[in-house]
Amino acid sequence: MSDEEVFKWIGDLDIKYKDIDSHFISFEGLISNIGSDQKSIPILNYALKRLQDKKESLDKNKFYYDFGNTLFSKATIELSAVDDFDNLVDLKTYREARQYFLKVKKDQYGHYERARTNLAIIYERYGRNYEAINAFDQVIKASPTFGMAYGGKAVSLEYYTRLAPQQSLHLQYFV
């Protein structure tokens, strides 16, 4: 599906579901997911604009998560175009996403767990594996059944021990 077709589809659904609360509350998350799947910066920018327009009407936690997640998706696409350290250092979008993820509080919807998991992935991208491990631990402490945090922590621990294999940093001290 082309970006133009996606934008037309969005317009059609906005008209069709304009009076449905769930459409108002969650449609930008869907737009963001589509932009991420299609690797489309224009669609992600559109989701960001729509979220910004709704900032005062949405639950703050949801806004922070959705905005941060959309920035996170955008940064991933921007970085994949030129995946090198200099580009990573210059890329502001991950840092912006990090700021929004840090504002997400614990709630019944799992926004905190997903935000902290994405935050940990950002730390990993910058080689800050110890901070990534700590972020995964925060998720595990808050929600012991959130499997993505365990998988992410395992990857971070494996990478961390390859970087620093000395006896004092063996895996047994982190588990």
Residue-wise pLDDT tens digits, 65-102: 999 999 999 999 988 766 666 677 778 999 999 999 99
What's the mean pLDDT in 148-166?
A: 85
With cut-offs at 50, 70 and 90, classify the pLDDT of residue 167: low
Answer for the pair 19, 27: CB distance below 8 angstroms, yes or no: no
- The pair of structure tokens assigned to 23 is 């459409």
Residue at which a domain ends, from 81, 97, 124: 81
Question: Could you tell me if residue 94 is inside a domain?
Answer: no
Question: Could you tell me if residue 93 is inside a domain?
Answer: no
Question: Could you tell me if residue 99 is inside a domain?
Answer: no
Dist CA 78 CA 74 (whole Å): 6
Phi/psi at 83 (5° precision): -85, 80
With cut-offs at 50, 70 and 90, classify the pLDDT of residue 114: very high
Give the pLDDT of residue 165: 66
Q: Residues 7, 51: one domain? A: yes
pLDDT-wise least confident of 31-35, 62-66, 159-163, 166-170 = 166-170
Query: Which residue range forms the structural domain that includes residue 33?
Result: 1-81
Q: Residues 74, 120: one domain? A: no
Residue 157, C-beta contacts closer than 8 angstroms, at least 6 positions apart: 133, 171, 174
- The pair of structure tokens assigned to 162 is 């390859």
Q: Residues 112, 47: one domain? A: no
State how many domains the chain has.
Answer: 2
Q: Residues 73, 123: one domain? A: no
Dist CA 48 CA 66 (whole Å): 9
pTM: 0.86
Q: Residues 110, 159: one domain? A: yes
124: region left, alpha or beta (phi > 0 left; psi from -120 to 50 alpha): alpha
User: What DSSP letter does each residue of 130-157 carry, written as one string?
Assistant: HHHHHHHHHHHHH-TT-HHHHHHHHHHH
Give the pLDDT of residue 81: 65
For residue 93, give the 3-state DSSP assignment. Answer: helix
Residue-wise pLDDT tens digits, 7-60: 999 999 999 999 999 889 899 999 999 999 999 999 999 999 999 999 999 999
Q: Residues 14, 77: one domain? A: yes
